[in-house]
Amino acid sequence: MEIHVLSQSHSLINQFISELRDVHMQKDRMRFRKNIERIGQIMAYEVSKTLTYTKRNVITPLGTHQSDVLAEQPVLATILRAGLSMHLGVLNYFDQADCAFISAFRKHQTGNQFEIVVEYLASPDLTGKTLFLIDPMLATGQSIDLTYQAILQHGTPSKLHILSLLASQDGIDYLSNRLPHATCWIGDLDPELNKDSYILPGLGDAGDLSFGEKL
């Protein structure tokens, strides 16, 4: 699996991630969501450099210019609900893209055990398309893996890009084995998971911090 860690180069993404991690700034829910949206925009720009382009003649007021434009829009597939702000950021750049939405959540059992449950899925035809799978927190990697397997019922994409705000090394290792054909774009890479499978040092629960605690 090809992996890009955007925090490894100087970029405003590091400023936005530091604010997302900060327990004091997390109290500003609107800024938290906005920073995730901004990171989605930065990632969209970085991924766009790897896509396929075609020539198009554009009529200007004074003549004609041959411009490079996207050969085809990707499909943006986002895991609810934490992914909504990041989805908006990516969609701001790929504004003509078709979108898919999937609910995937942890169903806790005894102790620290849980299973990933996928309940809702709405998607266009993915056959031969470039698929962006968007999930801000790549912890164990199970949610992304199960979501991808579920979405294949709508066709097999030609390329898979995984976009995550934060990832754990465990999650990256898991997906490298499960989805070796994917290209993974992450804002920052954290070293480990805690006993509840949350990323350390991480930033907490991105969904709760964005939209409020769930029952």
- Residue 105 has what pLDDT? 64
Cβ proximity of 48 and 93 under 8 Å:
yes
Give dist(CA 44, CA 191) in Å, integer: 25
Domain assignment present for residue 199? The answer is yes
**pLDDT < 50: residue spans in the chain:** none
- Residue 206 has what pLDDT? 94
Domain assignment present for residue 206? The answer is yes
| Helices assigned H by DSSP within 2-141 | 12-21, 29-48, 84-93
Residue tagged 């090809």 (tokens) = 2
Give dist(CA 159, CA 180) in Å, integer: 11
Q: What is the pLDDT of residues 7-48, one digit of tens each?
A: 999 999 999 999 999 999 999 999 999 999 999 999 999 999
Domain assignment present for residue 94? The answer is no
Give dist(CA 4, CA 27) in Å, integer: 30
Domain assignment present for residue 82? The answer is no
Domain of 202, in residue numbers: 2-48+100-211
Domain assignment present for residue 163? The answer is yes
Domain assignment present for residue 125? The answer is yes
What ranges make up the beta strands (E) of the chain?
Answer: 2-5, 53-60, 63-70, 75-80, 98-108, 114-122, 130-134, 137-138, 159-168, 183-190, 192-193, 199-200
- Residue 187 has what pLDDT? 98
Structure pTM? Answer: 0.92
Give dist(CA 46, CA 209) in Å, integer: 26
- Residue 90 has what pLDDT? 98
- Residue 214 has what pLDDT? 80
Cβ proximity of 214 and 194 under 8 Å:
no
Looking at the structure of the chain, the number of domains it has is: 1
Domain assignment present for residue 41? The answer is yes
- Residue 204 has what pLDDT? 94
CATH (domain of 6):
3.40.50.2020
Give dist(CA 171, CA 150) in Å, integer: 19
- Residue 179 has what pLDDT? 97
Domain assignment present for residue 8? The answer is yes
- Residue 103 has what pLDDT? 85
- Residue 115 has what pLDDT? 61
Look at strands 75-80 and 192-193 and give their pairing.
unpaired
- Say how many Å lie between the first and final Cα of the chain, rounded: 36
